[in-house]
A and B are shown apart, each in its own frame.
Chain A
Amino acid sequence: MEEKKELLFLDHITMKFGGLVAVNNFYLKLLPGELVGLIGPNGAGKTTVFNMITGIYTPTLNRIYFQGKDITGLRPDLIAKIGIARTFQNIRLMVNLSVLDNVMIGFHLHLQSNLTSAIFKLPGYMQEEKNIYHKSLELLKQVELEEFKMEKAGSLPYGQQRKLEIVRALATQPKLLLLDEPAAGMNPQETKELMDFILKIQKDFDLTILLIEHDMKVVMGICRRIIVMDYGITIAEGNPAEIQRNPEVIKAYLGVEANYA
């Protein structure tokens, strides 16, 4: 038997919504440590791929494997527990909670203490809480959000909310990180910082990253391998140079731009 080294394996998965085939026969093997870009025009099916991996949708056809185990249709919280974290295209923070709380919540899934020791603040729990607090501060420092720790998450500017969401995902201690358009709404300076940040966390946290992004500078700048989707189908795959001169890709993107023109 062939040895399976890949971290994530999407075995020709398909997602249909009624008559619409949002994702068709999608195939992907992610090796540990890879940073792969997933691009494509609006409505291509990129977010749907994320939603299938994270258990929000169950593929209509075929299966998903993580570290060799079939995880198809597993509940989202259990997906997080086995080490897959994500951010959302439309930021989903706990806007009325503090910046710090948003990060600390990310550690909840690994909490050992039971409910009783948490309510009565027994020593075991207090130790864990202290660790969570310090680790959360540490994470906030990395994105320079430490000084805003007591602010409401919703009061942060857009770019910082995106960073906070990434940091919250990191708090769950993932092996695989799925980023859905992290640069959306960021100015060029923030985007530049974000690229460095993604590379840095990939190294520091030993992450495998799958990145959806519309900003080509970001994708071309940090991904060695890029997958292009259009209408639910993978139309190209390769390194940035190959993608840039692929006629299918040019057609798909020009088609879209022509629509906007």
Chain B
Amino acid sequence: MGKKKEARYTILALIALAILVYFAQNNLDDYKLRILNISAIYVTLGVSLNLIFGFTGQFSLGHAGFMAIGAYVTTLLVLPPWYKEMIFIIKPLIWPFTIIQAPFLIALIISGIFAAGAALLIGLPVLRLKGDYLGIATLGFAEIIRIIANNIPQVTNGALGIKGIPEFTNLYWSVGVAIFTIYIVRGLISSSYGRALMAIRENEIAAEAIGVNLTYHKVMSFTLSAFFAGVAGGLFACLISTIDPKAFMFTMSYNILLVVVLGGMGSITGTVLAAFFYNFFLEYLRSVEAGFSIGPLTIPEIPGLRMVTFSILLLLVIIFRQQGLLGGWEFSWSRLINIIKKIFFHQRATEGGNG
């Protein structure tokens, strides 16, 4: 199938998705919308983590930290000054937050830029080193961000957190950002720069020997990854309308990692599927966890069931299918059509997908 045809199918699918999103946004109840929004935000988080971890091979545990930065920046920008002055009770809010206010879109972009700036600060010294130091460094970084958030009440309102954040995030925003993220990451991965990133993942010494500047490419990938995590943090804040430092604990980074590993490192398609699967299944388990009865049989409350289930799932994947659900497999229309042909028409696939 030609590139033009692939593009045409993609545009049609996007239009269909837009219609679907429109109906979902206008017809579903708040609870369902919330799960869909969270799932879409997880797509952004997962795809961005996949960029640095799955495609570039640099283990990063800092996504919660970048999210936190994005969440606080967005919050401080979208809230009106009078409201901020009112709720900052531990210590008064400092300038310039007392006077500035920005539209949601601008706030999200600035959030991404701040998160990317933080990534640059960690990445430049750490990614220069040979070896897997990024994991440890980012883990420390995310903790530090959380502790700072706790300890600068003049910016974050400390442990009290910030409530009453306007709920700007709807499906248009969350799905729109997810699609934008996929578009950019896919564009990068399918380019010469993307090949360089995967070369680094595959064999750092060989990549460097054929002229790939390791530090530049790693830092670029890490910074871009953090940018999207920051934007996702902003979306998250304006979805749940309340943020405090506890929202960005290590488990948050772990959950995103789980989505990437489940879906398949180096597969954007896998991450998208896993992001929805994770959040839907999580909600299902929530009802199981709360206890239920089937006829006379009553299953009692099982606290922590969700975490245990997902941790077991992760272990199973690591043991039996290291490449994740889809491995490095990537969706394309020609591949989909080939599969359909194989299943329904028992035809031999004639075209190898190369989109």
Contact = CB atoms under 8 A, between A and B. Distances in A.
Contact of A96 (B193, B202, B207, B208): B202
A191 to B, nearest CB: 23
B187 A120 contact: yes
Nearest to A88: B206
B145 interface: no
A120 B191 CA distance: 9
B45 to A, nearest CB: 20
Interface in A75-94: 75-77, 80-81, 85-86, 88, 92-94
A119 B184 contact: yes
Interface in A56-114: 56, 75-77, 80-81, 85-86, 88, 92-97, 101, 104-109, 111, 113
A121 interface: yes
A80 B210 contact: yes
A231 to B, nearest CB: 26
A27 to B, nearest CB: 24
B214 interface: yes
Contact of A171 (B208, B209, B210, B328): B210
Contact of B196 (A54, A108, A120, A150): A108
Interface residues of A, number: 39
B17 to A, nearest CB: 21
B210 A105 contact: yes
Interface residues of B, number: 26
Contact of A119 (B187, B198, B213): B187
B211 A118 contact: no
B210 A85 contact: yes
Nearest to A94: B202
Given A97-B199, A105-B199, A109-B212, A125 B191 contact: yes
A94 B199 contact: yes
Contacts of B199: 94, 97, 105, 108
B354 interface: yes
B352 interface: yes
A119 B220 CA distance: 13
* Max chain A C-beta neighbours (<10 A), residue from B187, B207, B210: B210
Given A56-B205, A77-B213, A150-B354, A121 B195 contact: no
Given A85-B210, A119-B188, A172-B210, 7 more contacts: A77-B214, A88-B206, A92-B203, A92-B206, A93-B206, A128-B192, A132-B192
23 contacts: A54-B209, A56-B205, A75-B213, A77-B209, A88-B209, A92-B206, A94-B198, A94-B203, A95-B203, A97-B195, A97-B202, A101-B195, A104-B195, A108-B195, A108-B211, A113-B192, A115-B193, A119-B191, A119-B193, A125-B191, A129-B191, A129-B192, A172-B210
Interface of B: 184, 187-188, 191-193, 195-196, 198-199, 202-203, 205-214, 220, 328, 352, 354
